[in-house]
Each structure stands twice: as structure tokens, then as C-alpha cells.
Amino acid sequence: MIFGILLAILLIIESVFLRVLKLNKRIPKDILLKIHCALGFSISALACIHFAFVLSLWKQRPLFMNITGCVMFAFIIIIGILNIGKKNKLKLTIHKILALSTFVFLGAHIFSGISSLSAYQSAVRNMSIDNIDITTISDGVYEGESDVGYIYAKVKVTVLDGKITAIDIIEHRNERGSKAESITDNIISHQSLDVDTITSATNSSKVIKKAVENALKIESK
């Protein structure tokens, strides 16, 4: 995320900074061109780094956010390619159109990111986890999942003689919540979902606990 924020800041600086410099007639055009090229190279490099880092988070982000990000990345790369070799009127025209379009998609991308983050935080905040009487669960292996957008967990819960004997995490998509996976040991040792979340991984802990609940709650009814 940090690279995305830096990229957005650099795009805004590049646009505003150059517009201000252009109004200053005392600055030679060749100086402006060098500054523009340096900023453009930095933007392209940051865009590539950001794209490489967020690829693994593709499934955790809304489709609209992914689409706007990919289109914006493509525009930045094309602009970079257009700067290679001799400049002509057609290249400059395409450059201007793509540059303007990049800012439009940047705004849409940021809006989608803020909206999805707000929805994710609300989903976690409002998540309720009901404790289940494990002794009422028939022997078997049960699967459950929980998805709040930025975090997803799918688990397999094994019950034998009225006790949870194993909780296997089939899939856990998260950014920095891998420590939360130890919550399964706490659930097994206490034979209850009413256990404290893992410090520094509270959201992931809640999602994993919800996945365990979802695996067992149908059988418990």
C-alpha cells in the first residue's frame, strides 16, 4: 500500500509542479523537460513496484479497484514507451490524452480503495461470533469460511467425541495477519470460540473464528 500512496503523491506533484513551473517563463524549457522526464521515470518505476506487490492481493480487492489500477498502470507504461525515441505531434497528443486519463482513473482507484477499506472495517467491527456447544456436534469434519474483503479464511474443523480435535486452515488471505493462525490452538485448548484474539492480528483472528463458527453452526442447529 505504501508504494501506491507514494505513486499517487508523485503523480499529483508531477502535475501540479510542472504546471507551476510552466507559468514561470524564466525557467528554460529544457530544464522543465529534464524534470518531467525524471518524474516520469520515477512514476513508471514506482508503478511497476506497486503492481508487483499488489498482484498477490488481487482476490482481496474489489473488481472495480483492480480494473482501474490495471488500466492506470497500462497508461503509465504506454506513456513511458512514448517517451522513447523521437517526439512527434501524434506522440505528444496521445501522451496528453493518456496523462489526463491516468488522473481520472487515479481518482476512481482511490475512491474505490477508500470505499472498500471502509466496508471492510465496518464488517469486522460489526462481526459477532456466537459460542457453540461443541458437545452437541456430531463426529465429523466440517468446512467453513468467512470473507470480509481484505481478509478471507477457510477452515476444516474435525470433531470427535464432542470435542474439537483439529482445525486446519485451508486458506487464509491477509496482508499482515499470519500470526492470527495460532488462534486455532486457543480454540482447541479451550474447546470454545470465546477466546481472546491475537494481539496485532485482531481482524484476522476474528475472521478465522467466524470461519470456525460457520463450519459448526449448521450442524449445531
Q: What is the pLDDT of residues 129-150, one digit of tens each?
A: 998 999 999 999 999 999 998 8
Rounded mean pLDDT of the chain? 87
pLDDT of 85 above 90 = no
Positive or negative: CA dihedral 94, 98, 100, 104: positive
Strand, helix or coil at 147?
strand
The three three-digit cell numbers of residue 159, written as one number: 470433531
Question: Residue 166: what pLDDT?
Answer: 96
Q: Which residue has the cell 510552466?
A: 22
pLDDT (mean) for 169-177: 85
- Alpha-carbon span 183 to 120, nearest angstrom: 21
pLDDT (mean) for 96-107: 90
The reported pTM is: 0.76
* Residue with the larger pLDDT of the pair 3 and 125: 125
Question: Residue 52: what pLDDT?
Answer: 87
Confidence label for 5 from pLDDT (cuts 50, 70 and 90): confident
pLDDT of 221 above 60 = no
